[in-house]
Amino acid sequence: MNSLALAGIIVGGIVAIILVKHITRCVEVNREGHAERARLQAMQMQAAVLQPATSGTHNVEMETVNRFLDGILREKPARFTPENLREFTGGYAERVGSGGFGVVYRGRFPNGVPVAVKVLNGTLDRRAEEQFMAEVGTAGRTYHINLVRLYGFCFDAATKALVYEYLENGSLDRVLFDAAGGVSRDGAHALAFDTLHGIVVGTAKGIRYLHEECQHRIIHYDIKPGNVLLAADYSPKVADFGLARLCNRDNTHMTLELWLPLPVTHKCDVYSFGMLVFEILGRRRNYLEVKSQSQHTASTETTISQEWYPKWVWQRFEQGRFDEVMAASGIRAEDRERAERMCKVALWCVQYQPELRPAMSSAVRMLEGEEEIARPVNPFTYMASLHMISGSSSGGSTTATTSGDSANRSSA
């Protein structure tokens, strides 16, 4: 074979290789084009959720898509209009809750995703408006399995509202308590202790994330059953974190630092969490009806008084009578170990001195049995001094007792 023929073969091979590479690249480009079109269609569908079409079509302009993508990149919740909210809620047709903050309505995005629309009461001053926007930005960048997801908000002169993920089982207080009496609902005792323990641990993990895992610590200020929401499987999610300061506190666990001259820190949330654990443990608001009998000359008279449940639990725990706590709460023998752990963690969390309260990461480990729990000390010693102060100022023991009971319920 001469050199000319050999050169021709080499050139032909090179050309063939180039053609194969070109064809391969064309196929790849075509595949990438299909993928890119699919990606844009998906983004348009997502954008349609946040900006529903008003002309009867579902075409989304690229400007809308860009705004949506910019919001995702900045991790900011969407801003809705009052018209959006009316459309999501069907004209505010289904009211599912209310409180000091306002009213909650059930709604649905155009793609079928259920949402909860919380419309705030009243008007906010300029400082509160700035704080509202800052806190919404914080909540919109905060993601955890035990925190309620904030999808977006509405903020104009007439309407201020928040749009959250919707949780099927509502708030913990609706599951635990009868609305009128504050005692267990019939269904509350049907909940397995495993479920109640899971609610306690999940709530603790949500607060732990706010305190210890966020870039900037978030203090909730309003941990209570109404701000713990439950998914279909009763897994808990903490709601309203960072926004409680904008709302009137309704039946909250007022921590000691808020009515005594003590610095307000994240340990306020730890105190409130402890009170929440007592309510879950007792399946009741933090008071207990106690029946007693007194013998009169003609008959025996039964009287009913109310005791503050956390202090009642401490007294039984200290005296080695935890069986009475279990009996009052319907706790079975096989759940005793976890119930005692919950009790001891709660007693540590409600200590009068904030520095004695555990970090939430420690509370989680103790609840899960991964950390030894020291025997709690009496968290209610401060009440004796309140009795003395009240008694000396009033000049009578009866008034002192009344003041002490009032202090108990205030801190609850």
Final residue belonging to a domain, choices 115, 146, 165: 165
Angle, to 10 degrees, between the axis of helix 309-318 and the axis of helix 336-349? 120
Residues 188 and 227 in one domain: yes
Among the listed residues 327, 359, 362, 356, the one whose alpha carbon sits nearest the alpha carbon of residue 341:
362
Structure tokens at 104: 């909650």
Least confident of 143-157, 172-186, 293-307: 293-307
Residues 149 and 178 in one domain: no
183 within some domain: yes
- Give me the pLDDT at residue 382, please: 80
- Give me the pLDDT at residue 245, please: 53
CA 97, CA 406: separation in Å to the nearest integer? 29
20 within some domain: no
Average pLDDT over residues 41-70: 48
Checking DSSP bridges between strand 78-79 and strand 150-155, what pairing results, if any?
A: parallel
Q: Which of 125, 194, 222, 269 is catalytic?
A: 222
CA distances from 170 to 88, 91, 229, 283, 297 (A): 19, 21, 5, 16, 52
Checking DSSP bridges between strand 102-108 and strand 114-120, what pairing results, if any?
A: antiparallel
Residues 229 and 320 in one domain: yes
Among the listed residues 332, 305, 265, the one whose alpha carbon sits nearest the alpha carbon of residue 405:
305
Residues 253 and 364 in one domain: yes
Average pLDDT over residues 75-102: 87
Residues 178 and 235 in one domain: yes
Residues 405 and 362 in one domain: no
Tokens 């609840």 correspond to 367
Q: Give the H/E segment covering residue 384.
A: helix 382-394
Residues 110 and 217 in one domain: no
Domain that includes residue 398, residue range: 381-412
279 within some domain: yes
* Catalytic residue check, 194: no
Longest dimension (CA), the chain: 136
Residues 280 and 387 in one domain: no
Structure tokens at 48: 């349609």
Please give the share of the chain, as a percent, with pLDDT higher than 90.
41
Residues 319 and 226 in one domain: yes
The confidence band for 243, taking pLDDT boundaries of 50, 70 and 90, is low
The confidence band for 368, taking pLDDT boundaries of 50, 70 and 90, is very high
Domain containing residue 137: CATH number:
3.30.200.20
Residues 333 and 227 in one domain: yes
CB 284 within 8 A of CB 177: yes
Which of 44-48, 154-158, 240-244 ranks highest by mean pLDDT?
154-158
- Give me the pLDDT at residue 175, please: 87
The confidence band for 274, taking pLDDT boundaries of 50, 70 and 90, is very high
Checking DSSP bridges between strand 102-108 and strand 95-98, what pairing results, if any?
A: antiparallel
- Give me the pLDDT at residue 202, please: 98
Residues 74 and 102 in one domain: yes
Among the listed residues 59, 175, 46, the one whose alpha carbon sits nearest the alpha carbon of residue 111:
46
Residues 375 and 389 in one domain: no
What is the per-residue pLDDT across 315-366, written as a single tens digit (0 to 9) for each?
999 999 999 999 998 999 999 999 999 999 999 999 999 999 999 999 999 9
The confidence band for 45, taking pLDDT boundaries of 50, 70 and 90, is very low
